[in-house]
Amino acid sequence: IPSKDDSAVDLSNLDAGAAAPSAGGSSSGGSGYGKGGGAPHLNIYFDFYLLSQPGKSGSQGSGLSFNNIHHFFLVEATAGPDIKFMTEIRDEPRFYELDYQFTRWFQLRLGKIWIPFDDLVPHNQFGGHMNVSRLRPTATPSGATSSAAYLPDLWSEMGVAGKFNLIDREKFQLEGHLYVVNGFGSGGTDPANPTGGLQYPQFSDAGIEALDNNREKAIGSRLHATIGQTLGIGTSYYSARWTDKDKPKRSLEIGGADAQLYFNRLEFRFGYFNFGVKLPTGASAATMNRPAYYAETTYKIGSKRNWKALLFTGGLNGDNR
């Protein structure tokens, strides 16, 4: 995060040779690599909650519980300043990618890569600070249908991407991304007609684990600018076919905009996101929209700014027909 104070990190002095990964939006310019050797670099993320979810049912319980929403173990290995491999430690990793820095302005990314959309590090924030499946209600108040995933817990997909460091000046940085991935598939349940048998897109982790269900690829792009180390502005776009190859073609498009403001200890973030999804013949509408937003304010506390107070809000609509 751009900073004018002593909390800024000089990446060139890191012995490990690599910084913690960004999900594709906010960087402080440059290639993101240090000058060190190939020693492994370990990042570990873990959380601990006192959790009350009265609306939950079944195995989730409805009591007051100590809980772990998710744990995330990430390993980075570098081979010089230009090559980096990252993966999740898990039986079936949801994320693994190889990054190769061809030039100062161009990086190639291969594997099951982070989707560079908004400010996802590593979870999306739409509807709240962390929109993950463990925090999602299992049923609506009426008990009619389960609450569908808005996005995968970790939005990563098989494919290839290019990261472009377009402008890197002291007062202005501009970063761009282009990528081609498998895209979302079918397999979801239409909440407006759960027993109708029509195809519906799958937006959970399961929807991106399988092989592509058609021969058309999803394409996407992102552009993010940082101005005067104070203002960040980003726009993102994603387009894919989600229906099976033997079904009529139906596509989805996703657009988003995000902004960040940095004032010494004070930070503001905002993001807006919307799906436009074409539905099969026989659905209750020809198309649907899935809007979402988040807004948050952060204040860093302490002489070394190791603590922060966070206030956030958000909302989302999984299917607004």
Q: Confidence band (pLDDT; 50, 70, 90) for 311? A: very high
DSSP letter, residue 25: S
Band (24; pLDDT cuts 50, 70, 90): very low
pLDDT single digits (tens) 97-149: 999 999 999 999 999 999 999 877 667 788 777 777 777 665 554 444 455 68
Residue type, 111: G
183-208 pLDDT, tens digit each: 999 988 888 888 888 999 998 888 77
Look up residue 80 and give its DSSP letter.
Answer: S
With cut-offs at 50, 70 and 90, classify the pLDDT of residue 222: very high
Q: For position 238, what pLDDT does the model report?
A: 97
- Do 320 and 291 contact (CB within 8 A), yes or no? yes
Radius of gyration of the chain (CA): 20
Tell me the average pLDDT of the chain: 82
For residue 105, give the nearest of 35, 36, 32, 172 by alpha carbon: 32
Q: Is the peptide bond before 191 cis (omega within 30 degrees of 0)?
A: no
- Determine the Cα–Cα distance for residues 24 and 263; give it in Å rounded to an integer: 22
Q: pTM, whole model, 2 decimals?
A: 0.82
Categorize the per-residue pLDDT at 57 as very low, low, confident or very high, splitting at 50, 70 and 90.
Answer: low
Q: Are 139 and 198 in contact (CB under 8 A)?
A: no
DSSP state of 281: T
The DSSP output letter for 139 is S
Amino acid at 190: D
